[in-house]
Amino acid sequence: MGGGGFMMDPASPLDDYLLSLSPERRPRVCFVPTPAGDRDAVIAAFFEAFAALECEPSCLRLWGAPERPGDLLADQDVIYVSGGNTANALALWRLHGVDRALRAAWERGAVLGGVSAGANCWFDSCVTDSFGPQLGQLADGLGLLPGSFCPHYDGEPRRRPVYRELVANGFPAGYAADDGVALHFVGTELREVVATRDGACAYRVEPGSEMPLEPRRL
C-alpha cells in the first residue's frame, strides 16, 4: 500500500482486501509494528480495526524481550507490516531473524503486506524518509520483490520528483503508489492494482518514463 489502511482510515477497504487474499475463511493475521517502534497507540489501533473483521489478530513486538518471533510468524496466514522507519525495521529484523521468517512465510504462500515502510521493505530498494525528511534511497530491502518502490506518491510533494530523478540516475526501476492504492503481487508478478478513491493510481517508473497502472476501484 502506498498509503492507507487502518493507520490512515480505521475502516479502510484496503485492510479487507488484504485479508481477502488469503484462502482461509478466518485468517490468522499478525501485525508487525517494528517500523513504528512497537508504539502502543499503533498496536491498539490495529486491534481495534481488525476486531471488526473476520480474522484472528495477533501482534509481534520486538522491543523488550521477544519470544522466538520466527515461531509466531510461521503460524500466520497474513502478515501486516506497519508504516514508520524502513531502515530501523530492517536492522531489527535481521538482528532477530525476522527477515528469514518473513521469507519463509512468503515461500509457503502466506499473504505479506503493509503500508509505506510496510510496502518498502519487500523490495530490493525504496525511497524513504528513514534518514530524514529530505527523502533518500535505501538499497538494502528484503528483496522478495525485484526493483524499487516509492509510497505516498501523491501524498507528499517531493516523492514523485525524488523518485523519478533517482531512477533517471541509475536507481533500480520499479513501482510507485498513491495513497489509498495497493499493488497485489503473486510471486514476483504484478497481478492487480486496487484503489479506495477516484483518481488514485499506481505507476511503473523507469528511466525517462512513468506508466500509469489503472486500478480497480474497491
Domain span at 54? 5-217
176: its cell numbers:
510507485
What is the total count of domains within the chain? 1
What is the distance between the alpha carbons of residues 98 and 78, in angstroms, rounded to a whole number? 15
Other beta carbons within 10 angstroms of residue 61's beta carbon come to: 17
Exactly one of 22, 116, 125, 148 is catalytic; which is it? 116
User: Nearest to residue 61, comparing CAs of 35, 90, 88?
Assistant: 35
Can you tell me the mean pLDDT for 148-152? Answer: 98
Going by C-beta distance under 8 Å and a sequence separation of 6 or more, which residues neighbour residue 161?
none
Beta pairing partners, 212: 203
Catalytic residue at 116?
yes
Can you tell me the mean pLDDT for 9-18? Answer: 93
CATH of the domain at 9: 3.40.50.880
What is the distance between the alpha carbons of residues 55 and 202, in angstroms, rounded to a whole number? 28
Exactly one of 12, 22, 148, 152 is catalytic; which is it? 152
Catalytic residue at 184?
no
pTM of the model: 0.96
pLDDT digits (tens, 9 = 90+) for 65-111: 667 888 999 999 999 999 999 999 999 999 999 999 999 999 999 99
pLDDT of residue 171: 98
